[in-house]
Amino acid sequence: MSVTKPVPGPVGAFGTFIRDRDFPCVGAKSALGKGQLTHVVLEDMRSGAEDRRLLRAFYAFVKRYREDRTLFTSFAVSWQGPTGLSERDFERLLWERLQALHELDRAEHDWDGRVESDPDSPHFSFSLGEEAFFVVGLHDGASRLARRFSYPTLVFNLHDQFEMLREAGRYQRLHDKIMARDEALQGEPNPMIAEHGEAPPARQYAGRRVSEDWSCPFTPVG
């Protein structure tokens, strides 16, 4: 992507990252431009000390979304560190945090019944507060330029919104536009992208290219 003036802190830096003209996800651009991107900043992705704080913010986000179901609404969480992670290390931390959040969430909430909890299923979506999400991981060691962000970050995109776009006949056109922009940025297609229902979405969460025999390090409770 083009070089832009750095903005201090994860929130400012994330806004700059998404607004870059070459950033491929037009959905994220819309969410940011409409003020519909909730962004929480925590200290250390390796620690679970702030997981409950994160969940409180997450549940508040879900409550607001359910009141109006506005398209292009997303939730992001960034940690101040660690930086300099390899793709494998970031993938491990991503699933550690999701596992910990899931175990806390299950004390009060069921899995969203519209999706499957088996991460090896092509119909899997991560669930918190009984709301399903597709999770996009970003970090400074990502091989895909669209995932290479200064701070370790997880973006939670609502499964419900993908379904709304499909019902409106808009999903495929938006998907194809994002994929074309990503290919133009990277210079080659993303080998991990599959059509909905063809491969486990969990394979895409961390952004690392994985083999066919990759097994997701996530175990649903109950």
* Tens digit of pLDDT at every position of the chain (222 positions): 433 444 458 999 999 999 999 999 999 999 999 999 999 999 999 999 999 999 999 999 999 999 999 999 999 999 999 999 999 999 999 999 999 999 999 999 999 999 999 999 999 999 999 999 999 999 999 999 999 999 999 999 999 999 999 999 999 999 999 999 999 999 999 988 765 457 899 999 999 999 989 999 999 997
The pLDDT of residue 197 is: 52
Q: What gap in Å lies between CA 140 and CA 138, rounded to an integer?
A: 7
Q: What gap in Å lies between CA 1 and CA 218, rounded to an integer?
A: 32
Rg of the chain taking only CA atoms, in angstroms: 16
Grouping H, G, I as helix, E, B as strand and the rest as coil, residue 53 is helix
* Residues facing 91 on adjacent strands: none
Grouping H, G, I as helix, E, B as strand and the rest as coil, residue 79 is strand
Give yes or no for a contact between 108 and 221, defined as CB atoms under 8 angstroms apart: no
The pLDDT of residue 3 is: 37
**Which conformational region is residue 130 in: left (phi greater than 0), alpha (psi within -120 to 50 degrees), or beta?**
left
Residue closest to 113 by CA, chosen among 125, 97, 99: 125
Q: What gap in Å lies between CA 181 and CA 171, rounded to an integer?
A: 16
- Domain residue limits, the chain: 9-204
The pLDDT of residue 192 is: 87
Grouping H, G, I as helix, E, B as strand and the rest as coil, residue 19 is helix
The pLDDT of residue 194 is: 62
Query: 200: which residues sit within 8 A by CB, 6+ positions away?
Result: 119, 120, 121, 122, 124, 216
The pLDDT of residue 125 is: 98
Grouping H, G, I as helix, E, B as strand and the rest as coil, residue 104 is helix
The pLDDT of residue 8 is: 57
